[in-house]
Chain A
Amino acid sequence: MTFALVAVLLIALGAGFYARRRVVGIRAGGTRVNSLPNYHAIYVALWVLLPALLFLGIWASVQPGLVEQSVLASPAGQALPDFAMARDNIISEARQIALGQRSVGFIPESAGIAPVYAEANSRLSWIGGGIALLVALLGGFFALRRIGADFRARSGVERWLMGLLVGASLIAILTTLGIVMSLLFESLRFFQMVSPTEFLFGTTWSPQTALRADQAGSSGAFGSIPLFWGTAFIGAIIAMIVAIPLGLMSAIFLTQYAPQRLRAWLKPMLEILAGVPTVVYGYFAALTVAPLVRDLGIGIGISSASSESALAAGLVMGIMIIPFVSSMADDSIAAVPQAMRDGSLALGATRSETIKKVVLPAALPGVVGGVLLAVSRAIGETMIVVMAAGLAANMTANPFESVTTVTTQIVQLLTGDQEFDSAKTLAAFALGLALFVITLILNLIALRVVRKYREAYE
């Protein structure tokens, strides 16, 4: 593969230089050429490079699957156990040995499969590399045949560039599609094992019992309501109680009251608050804020106060969201026409009355949109809740008790010893799908609200 890549690059370079020399030669002969020699060179090089690279990229992503099939079809592969999980384990170990990522496997069979795997891998690499070289050469011949005095190489190059531009912007759609497909695919497998109604409306969450197939109650309990309650409790209630008043008042102060110099200092400081990595907030919440909150809880007589309280995680998350709310509010306040403000002030209202009675109502859709985006960010936030919220799925409204969230559970489910067909790991994808859908809806509503509001004044 690497060899093919280097060869393709060299061919492109060589063909480009050749094309350039030829066009320079034509030009020196006194003929007027349509495009500059460099455009001819780039045209040829692109024809060599892009189709071959595209092929190599596709080949690289399908090759492991092909290798696996050819290993399974070989005599050694047919002797492997039929049971899918055991077979996959052996093959994945054989792959690691074959690719030199480890020297010996834990399963004895893998040592026998490794040479078969290595052989199939190198054979398919050669085939892929060979086809890529062929594609490169064909592209080169095709392009070289066309260059000449009359050929419009520049438009050719520009067509390629246009293709690149379109391709780049399609990546966003592909990513979205990839997210939806991978979440949907794995979730469907999950819903074959656990009924969707249980997942969506069940009130017990204890995936741990599904660890072993022969255990009593091995199906586990996958009722996700407590997780969504915990997520909403921390992200949409506690965090917002902190973030909305502080963020909104900060925005009002910074836009309406603060002198220019002070604003120039304070605004970047709020932005730093948004730039601090979430793992730092999580550590801070777990190490410093959580004990304080627990002591406070015990101090006011709540004996069940936990050191992994919803309050600690929510508080810190709220602080993290402040700059987000404040900059959204800032934008929508700034968008309120000055004439409305002047009108209110001219009637004798004080500045705070103008803000409360005129500016805020006018800016309200923007603020609401900003708050919705903030909620969406808060419920998708992972590290703070992983480090500071608990693991027990509780449906409690007591902020001093521990609750768990969707993101915490995804991390828990996917970072242990994982086996890929168990309901336990697949549940993480179902949770991910639910999270994705919820944040998607929140974002779409928020964007619509914000856009509609902006149009009203423009």
Chain B
Amino acid sequence: MQRRVARRYAAERRFKLFGLAAVGISVAFLAFLLITMAWKGAGGFTRGEAQLTIDFPRSDLMVDPAALSRSDASNVLQSAGLEGVVDQAAVAQFGAAGADLFGPASVRELADQLVDDPSLLSKRAQLWLPLSSRGDVAVKGDGDPALEAMLTRAETRRSFNAAFLTSSDATDASVVGVWGALKGSLLTILVTMALAFPIGVLSALYLEEFAPRNRWTDMIEVSINNLAAVPSIIFGLLGLAVFLNFMHLPRSAPLVGGLTLALMTMPVIVIAGRNAIKAVPPSIRDAALGVGASKMQVVFHHVLPLALPGILTGTIIGMARALGETAPLLMIGMRAFIATPPGGITAPSSVLPVQIFLWSDEVDRNFVEKTSAAIIVLLVFMLLMNGLAIYLRNRFERRW
């Protein structure tokens, strides 16, 4: 008897431990994922720089000093043969293979430095310049041994890569950035929000407050519940067939992406909205009806404002999901190489998750850390949105 009780208690402890282990594994996986991404991506926010001695008077750079004070000075310089100057100096300092060390990023940086301080042009200067993609991998310790050996002969350092946040996609890993994709994402989300929020709220109000129980409303309910569970790629196929092939809207544009994502997010908002509306107690409605308000006034003046915090929470969560969505956007052509940030909602653009997907296919090793860095940017956005939703829920949650 005693033995059996002991065995049952042991089974009890074992069961509880299994439960703890299950939660532990999930949380450990999350931690593993986040730490791996942070570890790999941290490098993407820094860039390797090396000191390069450039003798401007003896280089064959032809620049009119007057041009340096103009607003497009940086572009003038870049097209005036700065690349040759950098290559020349690198070859002089590191030998024939030295030209590999500096890439387009260093030309851009050098142009900026010259604009800041035109007096450099008349002297022999030691400058910090960002390395090329291959050089960057080498300075971080796992690149080409020849380049690594070369870099031991120079002064190197790591510095914050502000350009990663302000520039757009490029073919060279050392100059890529997330700004174009981020702007595309924001525009797409704006379109999604502008469509999905009003439509979602209005249909939630209708279904919860006005709809009679009949076959039509049953059909609406079933289609909303079903749409919420339809695979996202199906919405991509819908967007491709309807918005691109039938309506001829521009390919790769935030407008089409937003429309597609709005159809996908709308059911989520409707379901969240209905729950929030259901939570408003009937006494509020009765009171308003009692003093003579019409049904429409009850809904728009009393029920909707009280349900709004709950609806907003659901909307933010839906938006966060739309922000991270990739598959439907691949279907409507948002996987093109786009090197300039979009100017409007009909301009071709990329979005952050698709940018991550595209970079993950690149063979250049420097793209690995850029991909992880972009993932960090995306995750920060997601966490901020989810945090906002949780904050709103806690701040406005009301028990009746």
Chain A residues with CB under 8 Å of chain B are 60-61, 64, 95, 99, 101, 154-155, 158, 161-162, 164-173, 175-176, 178-179, 182-183, 185-186, 245-250, 252-254, 256-258, 266, 268-273, 275-284, 286-288, 319, 322-323, 350-353, 355-356, 373, 376-377, 379-383, 386-387, 407, 410-411, 414-415, 420, 428-429, 432, 435-436, 439-440, 443-444, 447
1/0 per residue, CB under 8 A from A, across B318-329: the answer is: 001101111100
B118 close to chain A: CB less than 8 A: no
The size class of the interface chain B forms with chain A is 35 or more
| B12 with A351: CB separation less than 8 A | yes
1/0 per residue, CB under 8 A from A, across B218-231: the answer is: 01100111110111
B343 close to chain A: CB less than 8 A: no
Given the known interface contacts A253-B16, A277-B382, the answer about A61 and B230 at a Cβ–Cβ threshold of 8 Å is no
Name 10 A/B residue pairs within 8 A (Cβ), A-sorted: A171-B199, A171-B203, A183-B234, A246-B22, A273-B29, A279-B324, A353-B11, A407-B327, A410-B233, A436-B231
A247: B residues at CB distance < 8 A: 22
| B233 with A273: CB separation less than 8 A | no
| B26 with A444: CB separation less than 8 A | no
B79 close to chain A: CB less than 8 A: no
A353: B residues at CB distance < 8 A: 8, 11-12
1/0 per residue, CB under 8 A from A, across B236-254: the answer is: 0110111001111010000
1/0 per residue, CB under 8 A from A, across B268-309: the answer is: 001000000000000000000000001010001000000000
Query: B217: nearest residue on chain A (CB-CB)?
Result: A169
- C-alpha spacing A275/B353, complex, angstroms: 14
| B240 with A173: CB separation less than 8 A | no
- Partner-binding segment picked from B58-66, B135-143, B205-213: B205-213
| B326 with A182: CB separation less than 8 A | no
Closest A-B pairs by Cβ, 7 of them: A380-B231, A277-B324, A253-B19, A249-B22, A182-B241, A169-B203, A168-B202
B331: A residues at CB distance < 8 A: 410-411, 414-415
B96 close to chain A: CB less than 8 A: no
B326: A residues at CB distance < 8 A: 277-279, 382-383
B203: A residues at CB distance < 8 A: 165, 168-169, 171-172
Selected contact of A253 from candidates B23, B198, B232, B317, CB within 8 Å? B23
| A173 with B296: CB separation less than 8 A | no
Given the known interface contacts A173-B219, A283-B360, the answer about A382 and B324 at a Cβ–Cβ threshold of 8 Å is no
- C-alpha spacing A275/B25, complex, angstroms: 17
- C-alpha spacing A380/B264, complex, angstroms: 14
A252: B residues at CB distance < 8 A: 19
Name the residue in A101, A169, A443 with the highest tally of chain B Cβ atoms < 10 Å from its Cβ: A169
| A387 with B11: CB separation less than 8 A | no
| A178 with B226: CB separation less than 8 A | no
| A169 with B220: CB separation less than 8 A | yes
Query: A183: nearest residue on chain B (CB-CB)?
Result: B237
Given the known interface contacts A169-B207, A172-B270, A173-B223, the answer about A276 and B382 at a Cβ–Cβ threshold of 8 Å is yes
| B205 with A279: CB separation less than 8 A | no
| B210 with A165: CB separation less than 8 A | yes
Distance between A327 CB and nearest chain B CB, rounded to angstroms: 12
| A350 with B12: CB separation less than 8 A | yes
- C-alpha spacing A279/B86, complex, angstroms: 38
| B27 with A269: CB separation less than 8 A | yes
Query: A92: nearest residue on chain B (CB-CB)?
Result: B248
Name the residue in A170, A172, A277 with the highest tally of chain B Cβ atoms < 10 Å from its Cβ: A172
| B267 with A275: CB separation less than 8 A | no
Selected contact of A165 from candidates B205, B230, B242, CB within 8 Å? B205
| A246 with B242: CB separation less than 8 A | no
- C-alpha spacing A381/B328, complex, angstroms: 11
Query: B206: nearest residue on chain A (CB-CB)?
Result: A165
| A245 with B240: CB separation less than 8 A | no
Query: B372: nearest residue on chain A (CB-CB)?
Result: A283
- C-alpha spacing A258/B323, complex, angstroms: 33
B131 close to chain A: CB less than 8 A: no
B151 close to chain A: CB less than 8 A: no
- C-alpha spacing A440/B228, complex, angstroms: 11
| A176 with B227: CB separation less than 8 A | yes
| A95 with B248: CB separation less than 8 A | yes
| B26 with A355: CB separation less than 8 A | no
| A272 with B353: CB separation less than 8 A | no
